[in-house]
């Protein structure tokens, strides 16, 4: 009896999953996040025994990234890397990148082979997220306690000798906390202290805005294209601790300029009109075609973006479920501009032509 119920549940799940995926942006969001984390966790389980043969070796990350990067095409994300020659330089350096989401790590998996020997500064809490935390520690990640600034700084300083001796790159998110706010927030000083004390160059890395495909507040994740730009290294030879504020400002200003330029490029390339989930003109969604085929049809009010249903009345709950009321998202690069956006299935890989 139980096996029959299990088979029935499995059949229903297989049938309903594509329907939910097509009709619910929230379902798609959680499904893609689940796939991303599942790929990372499964790879962690698989690689932990292998990493034990060379524990705390940063080369383990290069091996793991070859498999973890498979999550990107599954959830329809494409990473375009620029400045690969700077990432691939065989020298120790401090890499600083803007931090928008946990998806930043997925992007790193896509180009970790370019960086080769690279480790990451991570918050101490991640170590306890097993099996990922254990696999990360065996891969040479440096965990710091952000609640105690002095301990964190000490841990970062102690890593300096290893960086120089083994020509290893140190990846840091100087903003500290990940935030999708269409801006690069002020930097903490830790990474720059390490670079100046060891006289290592700073390599700025900039991810274009995730607002072109991701809305965490409303749980929307569309197919996305991210430009990752490695800027020319900023040398620190001859600089002292007193020069750190100016170094931070120079680095951040260069990253902000690149952030705005690459984000605008993605908008223009895919005709997003400054709004990550705005459909291109003239396109129709799968949901709109389904609703139009329903008995009685649907019609839209000329003065609003809200979908209304012509009799018969029983159609209304179905259409309201699959064609939600329009929402508004502000301009991608600031300002008061706002546009209504429809069901996000309009922006799918088949609706835009990628290079």
Non-local (6+) Cβ contacts of 20 within 8 A are 27
pLDDT of 303 strictly over 80: no
The string of DSSP codes covering 131-192 is THHHHHHHTT-EEE-TT-HHHHHHHHHHTHHHHHHHT-EEEE-TT-S---SSSPPPPPSHHH
- What is the rounded radius of gyration, in angstroms, for the C-alpha atoms of the chain? 23
- For residue range 15-26, list pLDDT tens digits in order: 888 888 888 889
Give, for 34, the enclosing helix (H) or strand (E): helix 25-51
Give, for 283, the enclosing helix (H) or strand (E): none
- For residue range 185-225, list pLDDT tens digits in order: 999 888 898 899 899 999 999 999 999 999 988 999 999 99
pLDDT of 268 strictly over 70: yes
What confidence tier does 1 reach under pLDDT thresholds 50, 70, 90? low
Distance between CA atoms of 67 and 135, rounded to whole angstroms?
14
- In this structure, the number of other CB atoms found within 10 A of the CB of residue 196 comes to 22
Distance between CA atoms of 320 and 205, rounded to whole angstroms?
43
Looking at residues 141-152, what average pLDDT do you find? 77
| Closest C-alpha among 165, 66, 158, 68 to residue 121 | 158
Distance between CA atoms of 247 and 236, rounded to whole angstroms?
8
Domains (range + CATH), the chain: 1-270 (3.40.1130)
| Closest C-alpha among 239, 259, 247 to residue 191 | 247
Give, for 240, the enclosing helix (H) or strand (E): none
Lowest mean pLDDT among 56-60, 261-265, 328-332: 328-332
Q: Are 328 and 341 in contact (CB under 8 A)?
A: yes
- In this structure, the number of other CB atoms found within 10 A of the CB of residue 239 comes to 17
Looking at residues 35-44, what average pLDDT do you find? 92
Distance between CA atoms of 184 and 229, rounded to whole angstroms?
14
Give pLDDT, residue 164. Answer: 86
What confidence tier does 81 reach under pLDDT thresholds 50, 70, 90? very high
Give pLDDT, residue 306. Answer: 41
- Average pLDDT over all residues of the chain: 77
What confidence tier does 345 reach under pLDDT thresholds 50, 70, 90? very low
């Amino acid at each position: 009896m139980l096996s029959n119920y299990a088979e029935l549940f499995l059949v229903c799940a297989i049938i309903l999953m594509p329907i939910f995926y097509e009709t619910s942006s929230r379902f798609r969001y959680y499904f893609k996040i689940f796939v991303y984390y599942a790929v990372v966790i499964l790879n962690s389980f698989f690689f932990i025994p292998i990493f034990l043969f060379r524990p705390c070796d940063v080369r383990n990350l290069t091996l793991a990234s070859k498999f973890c990067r498979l999550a990107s095409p599954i959830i329809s994300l494409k990473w375009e890397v620029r400045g690969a020659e700077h990432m691939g330089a065989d020298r120790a350096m401090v890499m600083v990148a803007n931090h928008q989401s946990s998806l930043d790590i997925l992007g790193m998996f896509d180009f970790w082979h370019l960086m080769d020997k690279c480790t990451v500064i991570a918050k101490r809490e991640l170590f306890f997220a097993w099996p990922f935390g254990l696999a990360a520690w065996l891969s040479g990640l440096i965990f710091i306690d952000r609640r105690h600034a002095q301990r964190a700084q000490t841990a970062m300083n102690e890593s300096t000798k290893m960086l120089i001796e083994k020509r290893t790159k140190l990846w840091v998110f100087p903003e500290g906390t990940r935030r999708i706010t269409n801006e690069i927030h002020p930097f903490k000083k830790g990474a720059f202290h390490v670079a100046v004390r060891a006289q290592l160059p700073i390599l700025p890395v900039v991810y274009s805005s995730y607002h072109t495909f991701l809305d965490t507040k409303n749980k929307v994740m569309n197919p996305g294209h991210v430009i990752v730009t490695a800027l020319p290294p900023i040398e620190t030879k001859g600089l002292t601790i007193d020069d750190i504020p100016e170094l931070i400002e120079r680095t951040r200003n260069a990253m902000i300029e690149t952030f705005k330029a690459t984000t605008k490029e993605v908008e223009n390339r895919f005709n997003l009109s400054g709004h990550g989930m705005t459909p291109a003109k003239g396109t129709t969604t799968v949901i709109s075609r389904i609703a139009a085929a329903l008995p009685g049809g649907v019609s839209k009010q000329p003065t609003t973006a809200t979908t209304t249903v012509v009799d018969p009345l029983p159609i209304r709950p179905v259409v309201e479920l699959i064609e939600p009321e329009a929402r508004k998202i502000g301009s991608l690069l600031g300002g008061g501009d706002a546009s209504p956006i429809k069901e996000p299935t309009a922006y799918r890989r088949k609706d835009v032509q990628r290079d």
